[in-house]
Amino acid sequence: MKIFCPYKVKNIYEAVINMTHDLEKIKHDFLTKLHSLTKEADILNLKSEFTGKTGVVSELLKSLKDMNPEERKSFGPKANELKDFITEQCSLFLAKIEIEEINKKLALDRIDISMTENIQAKSIKSGGYHPRTIIQQEIEDIFLSMGFDVLDGPHIEDEFHNFEALNIPADHPARDMQDTFWFHDPQKTPKETKKYLLRTHTSNIQVRGMLSRKPPFRFIAPGVVFRSERTDASHEMVFTQLEGMMVGKDISVSNLIYFMKTILKEIFKRDVEVRLRPGFFPFVEPGFELDISCLICGGKGCSVCKQIGWVELLPCGMIHPNVLKAGGIDPEEYNGFAFGLGLDRLVMMRYGIDDIRHLQSGDLRFNSQFKLF
């Protein structure tokens, strides 16, 4: 058996072991040299020293053809692997050097990445919705999802829509409860003159809404209302309400309770116990005060619910036949329910606002607390 081999070995196994040993040595030599280099040209030279035409590794590969198949099979891949390794390491080192060079240039053009808007005194940083808007839209969306239209109407209203149509004739005590802002002195203006006022509730939309559609229908009417009331932390002369009504055939008190429970669950994002007790409102019969079990104590009694376990939340009831008639609806054929919700109270509950006057103060120290970003 003829053996051609640069190494003097006793047998094929010994030859392969020696060659493998050489490859390790070559790799080690290469790495030692590579790590000492910092210039692009030197690396390129090194690369050609090992893998160039007459490079060490190339020479080894050339000798493959003189080996017997077994040796070639064992040694060939290892030698090719080393060639790839050297090529790859050189590219990596070249890239590293190039990056370092670019980085040096970048260092000359650095920006202060910490200078974001929010630390700059003169920047305009944020914007935000009024808390009323947040709650009102949230509630509008709940009602929209349950098939209620959203209506609005005039703030400056006539007596008919604000009172008479709602079964509140002149001299009705309910007119006292709602201290009204008038544009005409009711005492001094002749009876036949149409008298205007600022709506005292969003219920003025009831009749307008009924006249504008045919039953069955459902709608809500959120908006500001006006009461001639001295303002303090919990009273405003301008505040927001949400009126709602549903008219159809055979609408029942049990339907009313169903809607209220479902809607309140959505508003408060949890199950809410409700109870109805009689309440007197001229535009509904029967009329109710709807209480919810106190969200603070869960109904056990605390200072918020005055130890009762219930908190008065909204007036509601079955629409009075006279109101249906004023809305052009035959009370023999249709009936329905109506309800009112004080939006500002919900806003204050949600955010823990202690003074209702902040809502309309225009003081950005208040509004900016509701920033969106």
CB of 269 to another protein, least distance (A): 19
Asked whether 346 and 135 are in contact (CB, 8 A), the reply is yes
Cβ proximity to another protein, 285 vs 355, nearer residue: 285
Asked whether 247 and 334 are in contact (CB, 8 A), the reply is yes
Q: What are phi and psi of 271, to 5 degrees?
A: -65, 135
Q: Which range in 33-41, 48-56, 91-99, 361-369 contacts another protein by CB under 8 A?
A: 361-369
Q: Which of residues 58-97 bind another protein (CB under 8 A)?
A: none
Rg (Cα) of the chain, in Å, rounded? 43
CB of 189 to another protein, least distance (A): 9
Which of 109, 185, 333, 354: binder of another protein (CB under 8 A)?
185
Q: Which of residues 19-48 bind another protein (CB under 8 A)?
A: none
- Alpha carbon distance 298, 293 (integer Å): 6
Q: Which of residues 251-270 bind another protein (CB under 8 A)?
A: 251-255, 257-258, 261
Q: Which range in 24-32, 59-67, 85-93, 273-281 contacts another protein by CB under 8 A?
A: 273-281
Residue the block writes with tokens 């020293």: 49
Find the distance separating the first CA and the last CA of the chain, reported in whole Å.
Answer: 84
Neighbouring residues of 269: CB distance < 8 A, sequence distance ≥ 6:
none
Which of 77, 216, 298, 328: binder of another protein (CB under 8 A)?
216
Which of 86, 135, 318, 346: binder of another protein (CB under 8 A)?
318
Query: Would you count residue 367 as binding another protein (CB under 8 A)?
Result: yes
How many C-beta atoms surround the C-beta of residue 136 within 10 A? 20
Residue of 243, 220, 223 whose CA lies nearest to 140: 220
Amino acid at 121: A
Cβ proximity to another protein, 85 vs 196, nearer residue: 196
Size of the site for another protein (CB under 8 A): 84
Amino acid at 340: G
Q: Which of residues 97-136 bind another protein (CB under 8 A)?
A: 122, 124-130, 132-133
